[in-house]
């Protein structure tokens, strides 16, 4: 399996990368970890004329934590995401997603930005990032814009990214007191698996033993892109957390899910729906534990 021909560029800075993007436009693609892009090129699904490799730009590998939250460079590897103390301490569901992705070798190459840019609804990082309310910062030579991750995805394998734009940074706010999150994915194998369903849940309580102030539930593999389980979230707000209300949220999440019953997909639509219910309950359980745990 040979790669199609292309020109290789390795800019030293973000600005330089942006200039190249501006110059080559649609004929160029950004090469970060390459674990999706190079595979798709080998399979002749993509054949960009220019590859702009950004994985060596140090600025893109930062993890800046402040009292307000985190700024993560787009090229932070998935394994560094998984092992980062700063991330693991307060954003455990993101660590869990990173640990669930691919294999050790893939995690060492793959980047957080790449996992978002690919815009696969089976991807492991978007659910927790969306549940945490993360934003992406996009850069081009002309402008920089910041938007909620939720608005970044526009469809299956589609994003708002313009031809000359690249993902620069991911921002996550410091979680409010008494909040917690959970991530669960279901695959056939224990690792190296493209998921059948994945779910992340995030809840904030109004105090120890209090009611749920806000909730976000994000589901993967059950729509063209990651979906919010809005009706499940709604029913949780104002309620005391507990098994019964979580079960009800699970049922509503199943209704919020819109899996396609494609004949050749990894699982049937019915099974995916049912599993959304199971994983929603489980992730809410994890989130509740964290919200009432020692972390606050």
Binding site for other proteins (CB under 8 A): 1-8, 10, 31, 33-35, 38-39, 42-43, 51, 53, 55, 79, 102-106, 108-109, 186, 188-194, 196, 263-264, 267-268, 271, 274-275, 278
Please, what is the minimum distance in Å from the beta carbon of residue 59 to other proteins?
Answer: 18
In the bound state with other proteins, the residue whose beta carbon lies nearer, of 103 and 258, is 103
In angstroms, what is the C-alpha Rg of the chain?
A: 19
DSSP class of residue 105 equals H
Pick between residue 251 and residue 271 the one whose CB is nearest to other proteins.
Answer: 271
CB of 263 to other proteins, least distance (A): 7
Bridge partners, residue 51, by sequence: 8, 29
Compare residues 3 and 237 and give the one whose CB is closer to other proteins.
3
In the numeric block, which tokens belong to residue 253? Answer: 């999440």
Nearer to other proteins, 35 or 159 (CB): 35
Measured distance CA(238)–CA(8) in Å, rounded:
54
Minimum distance from residue 185 beta carbon to other proteins (Å): 11
Cα–Cα distance, 185 to 145 (Å, whole number): 31
CB 40, min distance to other proteins, A: 9
Q: Nearest approach, Cβ of 65 to other proteins (angstroms)?
A: 23
Identify which of residues 176 and 191 has a Cβ nearer to other proteins in the complex. 191
CB 267 to other proteins: min, Å: 5
The span from the CA of 87 to the CA of 76, in Å, is 12
- Please answer whether residues 101 and 107 qualify as being in contact, where contact means their C-beta atoms are separated by less than 8 angstroms: yes
Query: Could you count the other beta carbons within 10 Å of the beta carbon of residue 89?
Result: 11
Query: Residue 206 and residue 76: Cα distance in Å, rounded?
Result: 33
Structure-token pair, residue 280: 């929603």
Helix (H, G, I), strand (E, B) or coil at 294: coil
Which of 32/215 has CB closer to other proteins?
A: 32
């Amino acid at each position: 399996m040979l790669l199609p021909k292309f020109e290789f560029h390795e800019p030293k800075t973000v600005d330089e990368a942006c200039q190249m993007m501006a110059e080559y436009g649609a004929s160029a693609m950004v090469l970060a970890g390459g674990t999706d892009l190079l595979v798709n090129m080998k399979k002749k699904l993509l054949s960009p004329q220019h590859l702009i490799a950004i994985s060596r730009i140090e600025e893109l590998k930062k993890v800046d934590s402040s009292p307000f939250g985190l700024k993560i460079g787009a090229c932070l590897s998935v394994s560094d995401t998984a092992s980062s103390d700063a991330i693991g301490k307060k954003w455990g569901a993101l660590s869990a997603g990173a640990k669930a992705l691919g294999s050790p070798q893939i995690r060492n190459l793959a980047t957080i930005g790449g996992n978002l840019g690919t815009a696969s609804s089976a991807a492991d990082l978007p659910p927790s990032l969306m549940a945490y309310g993360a934003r992406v910062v996009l850069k081009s030579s002309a402008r920089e814009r910041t938007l909620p991750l939720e608005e970044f995805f526009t469809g299956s394998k589609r994003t708002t990214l313009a031809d000359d734009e690249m993902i620069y940074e991911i921002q996550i706010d410091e979680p409010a007191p008494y909040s917690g999150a959970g991530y669960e994915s279901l695959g056939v194998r224990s690792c190296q698996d493209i998921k059948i369903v994945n779910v992340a849940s995030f809840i904030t309580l109004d105090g120890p033993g209090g009611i749920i102030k806000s909730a976000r539930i994000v589901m993967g593999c059950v729509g063209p892109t990651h979906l919010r389980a809005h009706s499940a979230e709604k029913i949780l707000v104002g309620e005391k957390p507990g098994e019964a209300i979580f079960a009800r949220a699970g049922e509503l999440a199943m209704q919020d899910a819109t899996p396609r019953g494609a004949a050749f997909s990894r699982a049937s639509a019915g099974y995916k729906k049912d599993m959304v219910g199971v994983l929603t309950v489980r992730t809410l359980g994890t989130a509740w534990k964290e919200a009432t745990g020692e972390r606050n």
